[in-house]
């Protein structure tokens, strides 16, 4: 059973129609043959092919650095490319970094094991960290440098702004000039920005989300992913709005609003900053089942209401193994993002993820990601349907056990077997 070991870590680091019309005219190539989501054709024998092409973006594998500390500057993003990550999403940027002021400590961890254990496995991670506090110009310079040095690798900028159309348009224009390959819109940061109508404040308000998505997609010339907040009753509602408002994909989930716990010696909440704290975002292994459920719901929505060849889904939440990633893909994700896992295990984690995902694929004779993407979706149903299915199965088992139910069931074709089916053992 999990218990709290509150270890602090010192941190160092209508609009819809208009938007779609503008997208068709402005993005041109990206709307005609560019957005198709396909898996690379793997060979029937040999090593499975992990490469994917999502919204026209080719990646050597489906593993993406999630926006956060692992994408905070040029040095660490370069390291991610060198280690072999399929794509990198940089830490979220905005126009005015001077408004972003972080505190220390900003993390707290939940461990499994005996109460108060400092050695148990980390299963939960809370952060109260904000978006990038580095000057936008610095981040833009580093984006440009990365694209010059790694022109064939996928670099995605995560952006977030206040409720201001001109500000969004300026940010998109400046970021796109660096040569980035796509945009992920942070509609989901759960702390620190809602009072400025940023992050989750937009993702939790579908009317506001539709308007802002309209601004973004009328301006953007590269694929746009909307990052969804799990801190909402029905995540399919904002996902539907984002896709109908022109976004080419959705990513889910961002962190879950949480309070890691109370230090029972000091009676203060964690992480503790000068004796006080604030609710933060929860991630790591413990959120994986929640994330899997949210992604499954979005995937079912996309399958029923949208053309899957034109839209993509990126799964996020508690990925530390190739099996974790396979589960997201089985419920419909095209790519899988990892953030906290990198903070815990390092950038070399991608090699383990790739090897384990390949082992899973070999076990089932899958040659490409598309061979099994969404395979498990059809096995999710309602509780009412589960009851019906079980009742039918029970009746069938009874029929097999008890033999023929009436004279009309005799066929004569298997007379001996039909007779034996009614013999008591």
**Catalytic residues, which ones?**
189
Bridge partners (DSSP) listed for residue 182: 156
Burial class (CB in 10 A: 0-12, 13-18, 19+), 140: middle
| 131 neighbors 93 (Cβ within 8 angstroms) | yes
DSSP reduced 3-state for 65: strand
Strand partners for 257? 281
Rounded CA Rg of the chain: 25
DSSP alpha helices (H): ranges in 194-336? 200-203, 206-219, 236-244, 288-305, 322-330
Alpha-carbon dihedral sign for residues 289, 112, 114, 265: negative
Q: DSSP letter string over 9-50?
A: E-----HHHHHHHHHHHHSGGGGTTSS--EE----SSSS-B-
How many residues can be counted in the chain? 425
For residue 92, the number of C-alpha atoms closer than 13 Å in the C-beta half-sphere is 22
Cα(140)–Cα(183) distance, integer angstroms: 13
Sign of CA dihedral 21, 27, 32, 34: negative
Which residues lie across from 111 on neighbouring strands?
Answer: 3, 122
- 287 by DSSP, 3-state: which? helix
């Amino acid at each position: 059973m999990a218990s709290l070991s509150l270890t602090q870590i010192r941190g160092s680091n209508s609009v819809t129609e208009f938007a779609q019309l503008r997208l068709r005219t402005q993005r041109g190539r990206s709307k005609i043959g560019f957005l198709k989501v396909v898996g690379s054709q793997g060979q029937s024998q040999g090593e499975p092919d992990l490469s994917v092409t999502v919204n026209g973006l080719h990646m050597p594998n489906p593993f993406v650095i999630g926006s956060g500390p692992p994408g905070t500057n040029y040095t660490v993003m370069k390291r991610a490319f060198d280690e072999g990550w399929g794509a990198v999403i940089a830490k979220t940027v905005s126009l005015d970094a001077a408004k972003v002021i972080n505190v220390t400590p900003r993390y707290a961890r939940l461990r499994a094991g005996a109460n108060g254990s400092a050695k148990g496995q980390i299963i939960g991670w809370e952060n109260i960290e904000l978006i990038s506090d580095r000057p936008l110009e610095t981040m833009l310079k580093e984006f440009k440098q990365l694209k010059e040095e790694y022109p064939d690798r996928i670099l995605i900028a995560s952006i977030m702004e206040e409720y201001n159309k001109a500000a969004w348009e300026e940010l998109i224009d400046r970021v796109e000039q660096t040569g980035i390959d796509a945009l992920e819109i942070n509609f989901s940061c759960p702390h620190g920005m809602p009072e400025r109508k940023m992050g989750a404040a937009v993702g939790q308000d579908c009317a506001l989300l539709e308007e802002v998505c309209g601004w973004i997609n009328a301006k953007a010339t590269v694929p746009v992913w909307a990052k969804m907040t799990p801190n909402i009753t029905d995540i399919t509602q904002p996902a539907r709005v984002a896709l109908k408002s022109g976004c080419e994909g959705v990513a889910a989930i961002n962190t879950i609003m949480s309070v890691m716990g109370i230090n029972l010696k000091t009676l203060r909440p964690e992480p503790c900053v000068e004796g006080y704290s604030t609710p933060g975002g929860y991630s790591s292994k413990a959120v994986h089942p929640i994330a899997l459920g949210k992604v499954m719901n979005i995937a079912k929505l996309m399958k029923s209401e949208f053309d899957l060849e034109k839209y993509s889904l990126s799964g996020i939440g508690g990925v530390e193994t190739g099996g974790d990633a396979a589960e997201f893909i089985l419920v419909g994700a095209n790519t899988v993002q990892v953030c906290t896992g990198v903070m815990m295990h390092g950038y070399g984690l991608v090699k383990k993820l790739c090897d384990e995902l390949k082992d899973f694929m070999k076990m089932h004779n899958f040659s490409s990601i598309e061979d099994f993407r969404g395979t498990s979706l059809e096995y999710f149903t309602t509780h009412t349907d589960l009851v019906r299915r079980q009742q039918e199965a029970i009746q069938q088992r009874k029929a097999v056990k008890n033999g023929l139910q009436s004279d009309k069931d005799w066929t004569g074709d298997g007379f001996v077997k039909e007779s034996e089916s009614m013999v008591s053992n």
